[in-house]
């Protein structure tokens, strides 16, 4: 049906369009991403210091749980900004 070269070109165009859209959205909310990274780092450091003072060892599971929460926050902000950009006339 479709030639492989044509299909690859179509998929490349779709990928480039999606990446360009996400980049334009992330430029709108870059300040929020910076705040998410700063608060995530602060949360990690404070939690680590609190655990070490309490005599608990470092836990990868607890650290990745905190990073996962901030990744979810970044994804929610990105999708909210994308929806706002699509709704904007």
Cα distances from 19 to residues 13, 23, 28, 35, in angstroms, run 10, 6, 14, 23
* pLDDT tens-digit series, residues 15-44: 988 888 877 777 777 787 788 888 888 888
Q: Which residues of 23-61 are buried (b: 16+ CB within 10 A; e: fewer)?
A: eebbeebeebeeebeeebeeeeeeebeeeeeeeeeeeee
pLDDT value at position 2?
63
* pLDDT tens-digit series, residues 32-83: 778 888 888 888 888 889 888 999 888 888 888 888 888 888 888 888 888 8
Predicted TM-score (pTM) of this structure: 0.60
pLDDT value at position 53?
92
pLDDT value at position 89?
52
pLDDT value at position 17?
87
């Amino acid at each position: 049906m479709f030639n492989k070269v044509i299909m690859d070109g179509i998929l490349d165009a779709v990928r480039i369009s999606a990446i360009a859209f996400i980049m334009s959205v992330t430029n709108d909310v870059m300040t929020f991403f910076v705040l998410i990274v700063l608060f995530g780092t602060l949360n990690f450091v404070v939690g680590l210091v609190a655990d070490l003072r309490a005599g608990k060892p470092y836990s990868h599971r607890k650290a990745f749980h905190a990073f996962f929460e901030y990744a979810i926050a970044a994804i929610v902000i990105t999708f909210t900004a994308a929806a706002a950009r699509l709704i904007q006339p």
